[in-house]
Every structure is written in C-alpha cells, then in structure tokens.
Amino acid sequence: MGMRFIIQSERDTAYLENRIEAFLRKMEGVIHGLTAEEFNKHVESLILKKTEKLKNLNEEAQRFWAYIHSGYYEFNCVDTDVEHLRKVTKDDLLAFFMEYIHPSSRTRSKISVHLRSQAPPKVAHVVVDAAQVISCLNAHGMTTPKAEDIEAAVAGGIENLEQSVRQLMVNQDGVEEERLEALIKSVADLAAAGQPGPVVENTGVTGEEQNELPPGNVVIEDLVKFKADCALSRAPQPVVPLETMRA
C-alpha cells in the first residue's frame, strides 16, 4: 500500500518534490483542524464511493479480474474496507499519517522518479497591448502618435518596448526631456508588469531550496545495482483459503 503523486510541470523536478513535501507538512495542520462533523463527512463520502453500484458488466468483470491479478483474491474487499472505515477515528488517521506519510517520519520510505525533458522549454512571449501604451501616453499628457506607429512599437516585444517608445516620442516636436524620462519609466513599469514573475508566492520553500533536494535523499545512479540490493518481498497470498470460495 502506498500513496502516489504524478505531476507534470515546466518547473524543475527538485522544486516539484519540495512542493509535495511542503503539501504533506501542511496536511498535518489540515487533519488537526478537522472537526468531528467534517471528519465524518469525509468518511461517509469514501464509503459512498466504495459502495457505488457498478454501471455495467464490464466494470464488474474488471473489478473481479483485478482481484485475481493481484494474487490476493480478496473479492469481498469492499465490505472489509467499509467495515474498517466505520471504525476509523481522527486520531487513527493522524497517527497513520504521521508514521507513514509525513516527511518528518523516520519509518516512512519513498521513491521519487524524476523525468526531465531533453528539449529546451519554449519561452512564452508576452505582448503588451497597444491600448495600454496609449493610456500611458495620455496619463503623461503626451501627444498620441499614429495608432499604427504605436502598434509597430508594441510588436517589437516587451524587451524593446522602452527603446521603441523613446524613438517614437523623440520624433515628436516639443517633447521635454524630463517628461520623456518620466514617460519611459512608466513604460518600463508597464513592460515589467507584462512579464511572468519568477517568484511563486506561498510555496513553503524559498530561494535555492526550491531547486535543491533536502539532505537525506539518496540519488540512485545505478538502477541495476539498486534493484539487486533490494530485498525480495513475499509473493502475494490469498487473503482467505481458496477452498472456502468454492461454490
């Protein structure tokens, strides 16, 4: 039995693993904060999901074949699960979570598979709307150039926006240098606001920690050696003797 997280993202894989650990640490407080009524609602929702009536014969066949392929032949596992769920308390859940799932546990174990794309990520180009530039010009009392000239300046990309607007306004008659510099500063702020920020709020990990795994994680370099060092687990056995299942 285990818990699995599958995440796909453009973020670094170490950052994603740190986010999972931060999420699990946060869940301790969430479980602590559950009222008796809220906990019972979660239990009942699980019971309803497990006892949901099968929609067709195919679903029923898949369920029974899963019991067979697992090697446990636990055909009555739904009834067993429901029976145990009705007895579970909030303290039981918290104790289980802290022993087997929480990052601070000394008895839990995990394996994390990092798949990194070999293709470089595509850089998203954010385009500032021409109407924003026009509003900026109006706010500084500047004479608005032709719409097509502004659109051409914006089309050059946010990295060239300041230079394009400066060149555009220099060609206007009677533009004071002080007012022009104030305008360029506003345009720079506008361009910066259009770019995606590198800082993610409320991550639970900051700075270099985001892309570095904490101490204690073992990097598996030789997969064959790792498999050879693992102890063989016991083969699955039927939960109840097969003789008792005869019709």
| Residue 247 confidence (pLDDT) | 61
Per-domain boundaries in the chain: 13-119+203-245, 130-194
pLDDT tens digit sequence for 116-147? 888 766 555 555 666 776 777 677 666 666 66
Task: Give yes or no for residue 2 having a pLDDT over 90.
Answer: no
Helix, strand, or coil here: 241? Answer: coil
Instruction: Show Cβ contacts of residue 169 under 8 Å, excluding neighbours closer than 6 positions.
Output: 142, 145, 175, 180, 183
- Asked if CATH classification 1.10.20.10 holds for the domain at 13-119+203-245, the reply, yes or no, is no
pLDDT tens for 62-121 read 999 999 999 999 999 999 999 999 999 999 999 999 999 999 999 999 999 999 888 766
Arithmetic mean of pLDDT over the chain: 81
pTM across the whole model = 0.61
Closest by CA to 246, choosing from 75, 69, 38, 23, is 75
Per-residue pLDDT at 122: 59
pLDDT tens digits, residue range 51-75?
A: 999 999 999 999 999 999 999 999 9
pLDDT digit string, tens, across residues 177-211: 676 677 677 767 766 665 443 333 444 455 545 67
Spatial separation of the C-alpha atoms in residues 100 and 108, rounded to whole Å: 5
State the pLDDT at residue 192: 63
- Helix 147-155 and helix 161-170, axial crossing angle in degrees, nearest 10: 150
